[in-house]
Amino acid sequence: MLFRLLTPAIHALDPERAHRLTIAALRALPLTGQPKPGPLAVELAGLHFPNPVGIAAGFDKDAEVPDAMLALGFGFSEVGSITPRAQGGNAKPRLFRLAEDRAVINRMGFNNGGGPAALERLRRRFKKPGIVGVNIGANKDSPDRVRDYAQMAAMMAPVASYLAVNISSPNTPGLRALQDEAALTGLLDAVIAARDEVCADAPPPIFLKVAPDLEPADVDAIARIALDKRLGALIVSNTTITRTQLRSRHQGEAGGLSGAPLKPLALQRIRDFRMATGAAIPLVGVGGISSAEDAWERIRAGASLVQLYSALVYEGPGLVRNITRGLERLMRRDGFASIAEAVGTE
């Protein structure tokens, strides 16, 4: 309700300024507690998620408010992407609201305060309950990107519920080439070795975040590697560089498109990866989810968990509780006793 009243004022601001104010407000508000496990609980890669709805990477790039997001009702928080060294990202403006399309275009370029600062914050909250995944990336000017990912895996493994290896941002030139078969195998070997060196017992599972803009052969290769490397999950997907019919005046901006127009593509990729992995690797569905119906459709298509970001811009923080309440209703309506039972049953 409060968000609805404030929306016109928030949307009158430059989007990046509005985002900074939102993070500041989340830091200042006394938001505590987190969802209790109930009918929506999901077990995946050895982790116990109280519900399947997470906040996607990019909202809390510097791990400033993971616990506030859990307090709002998210079943898990993914922070990042975080790179070894702090970097400013691309020139502004680089974040655009496409209100008529319920979409966002961003070309932020991994702006973040760097690994050590985020690590300090994550260390301070580490004893608290709640699933906080750490999404890792490489510095734009790095001479050795694989080394950056390995360094981040070693740094964050002790404080992460899971590590999300992000090779799918369209805003760091050349990054998505790491999705190629040989490059990806080498990258994951380096990340797994780095993680295992610091966490001999109970190492956090590794999730891999992929782009939606993949050819069938890419999907097959990634699926094979995910199985071979025993990844905890695939996160499907990041933003798209393709453009559908859009109406907003910002439609021509370069960068990754997210929100409602991404929904059909991200949904199709969940189906593709379920098929390609023979349902043997859990999937996290992301892209254009803005309602319980959207989340349910993604689960029925094969996702064990879902994440969202762009819809928060338009719907506000009450959205997550609407989705979790709605999911409980849809689960009962369709006669399922758990989320796991419903995965891939479309």
Ligand X SMILES: Cc1cc2nc3c(=O)[nH]c(=O)nc-3n(C[C@H](O)[C@H](O)[C@H](O)COP(=O)(O)O)c2cc1C
In whole angstroms, the minimum distance from the beta carbon of 32 to ligand X comes to 25
> CA nearest 259: which of 100, 136, 72?
100
Q: What is the DSSP-derived secondary structure letter of residue 212? A: S
Binding mask 101-120 for ligand X (x = CB under 6 A): ---x-x-x-x----------
Selected range binding ligand X among 3-11, 56-64, 139-147, 220-228, rule: CB under 6 A? 56-64
If binding is defined by CB under 6 A, does position 259 make contact with ligand X?
yes
Buried b (16+ CB within 10 A) or exposed e, 131-155: bbbbbbbbbbebeebbebbbbbbbb
Selected range binding ligand X among 20-28, 53-61, 144-152, 226-234, rule: CB under 6 A? 53-61
If binding is defined by CB under 6 A, does position 63 make contact with ligand X?
no
The two three-digit tokens of residue 80, written as one number: 């990042």
Using CB under 6 A as the binding rule, the residues of this chain from 191 to 220 that contact ligand X are 209
Q: Which is nearer to ligand X, 40 or 311 (CB)?
A: 311
What is the residue whose two structure tokens read 């996290």? 284
In contact, 301 and 271? CB cutoff 8 Å: yes
Q: Point out the catalytic residue in the list 81, 142, 161, 169.
A: 169
Selected range binding ligand X among 50-58, 84-92, 187-195, 320-328, rule: CB under 6 A? 50-58
Q: Which is nearer to ligand X, 71 or 257 (CB)?
A: 257
CA distances from 57 to 60, 80, 117, 170, 332 (A): 7, 6, 17, 14, 30
Classify 7 as helix, strand or coil.
helix
The two three-digit tokens of residue 68, written as one number: 């506030």
In whole angstroms, the minimum distance from the beta carbon of 190 to ligand X comes to 19
**Could you tell me how many residues of this chain bind ligand X (CB under 6 A)?**
28
Q: Which is nearer to ligand X, 34 or 81 (CB)?
A: 81
Classify 24 as helix, strand or coil.
helix
Q: Which is nearer to ligand X, 178 or 336 (CB)?
A: 178
> CA nearest 271: which of 293, 304, 301?
301
CA distances from 160 to 155, 205, 234, 295, 334 (A): 10, 9, 17, 25, 35
Q: Which is nearer to ligand X, 14 or 196 (CB)?
A: 14
Strand partners, 231: none
Using CB under 6 A as the binding rule, the residues of this chain from 262 to 301 that contact ligand X are 262, 286-289
In whole angstroms, the minimum distance from the beta carbon of 23 to ligand X comes to 12
Work out which of 179, 238, 251, 304 binds ligand X, going by CB under 6 A: 238
Ramachandran area for residue 174 (φ above 0: left; ψ -120 to 50: alpha; else beta): left
Q: Which is nearer to ligand X, 35 or 137 (CB)?
A: 137
Q: Count Cα atoms within 13 angstroms, Cβ side, for 298.
A: 35
Work out which of 45, 56, 210, 233 binds ligand X, going by CB under 6 A: 56
If binding is defined by CB under 6 A, does position 240 make contact with ligand X?
no
What is the residue whose two structure tokens read 């109406």? 247
- Catalytic residue flag (residue 169): yes
The two three-digit tokens of residue 157, written as one number: 């493994």
Q: Which residues are catalytic?
A: 169
Residues that bind ligand X (CB under 6 A): 56-58, 61, 80-81, 95, 104, 106, 108, 110, 135, 166, 169, 209, 238-239, 258-259, 262, 286-289, 308-311
